[in-house]
Amino acid sequence: MKKMLLVAFVLLLPVAVFAELGVGGAVLYNSPVLVGQKVSEIDLNVSKFSFGPDLRYKLWILQLEALVLGSFGSSSSLDGFLDAGLAFDILFLRLSAGVGLNGTYNFSDGSFVKGFNTKLNADLKFGKLSVGLTYIIDMDLAGGIHWDLSSGLLGATIMYWF
């Protein structure tokens, strides 16, 4: 068993050298502008925003992401997103798209809702630091792939890459 772990470690170590790990934060807004609703007045209430840590692991063109968002206000909740996808570096721009699982725990009634999501990122890289935009759309897999365009989260991220 020890020999097998040592062999796995020796084989995975060179792969890890080429990987990048990004740690940062995200602020997202439930934006009606992107879903075709009219906005009569911009509502910058704290209950419209979600905040949380963002973790990304990139190996060549594959990217794994974990995002946890806390929403506070009249309906406080904790949202978790686990995504896998592709990321492409073009000069100082990184474009990525992924799909994955999400879960929401609502503190007011104690309910937990599971689902799927699609996540799109566009990041400007400045050395070890990146600043970007993130858009998350709910996805339904019952009877095919359907995106729920009635809601979406749009926001900004800042990441430090190791």
- Write down all domains in the chain, each with its CATH number in brackets: 19-161 (2.40.160.20)
User: CA dihedral in degrees (162, 58, 51, 118; nearest 10)?
Assistant: 170
pLDDT of residue 40: 55
pLDDT surpasses 70 at 126? yes
pLDDT digits (tens, 9 = 90+) for 34-45: 555 555 555 666
Tell me the torsion sign for CA atoms 140, 146, 151, 154. Answer: positive
User: Averaged over 108-113, what is the pLDDT?
Assistant: 90
Cβ contacts of residue 113 below 8 Å, gap of 6+?
Answer: 103, 104, 106
pLDDT digits (tens, 9 = 90+) for 23-72: 999 999 876 555 555 555 556 666 778 999 999 999 989 999 999 999 88
Q: Identify whether the C-beta of residue 51 lies closer than 8 Å to the C-beta of residue 27.
A: yes
pLDDT digits (tens, 9 = 90+) for 134-143: 999 888 777 7
User: CA dihedral in degrees (149, 34, 112, 54; nearest 10)?
Assistant: 130
pTM of this prediction? 0.82
Residue 36 vs residue 144, higher pLDDT: 144
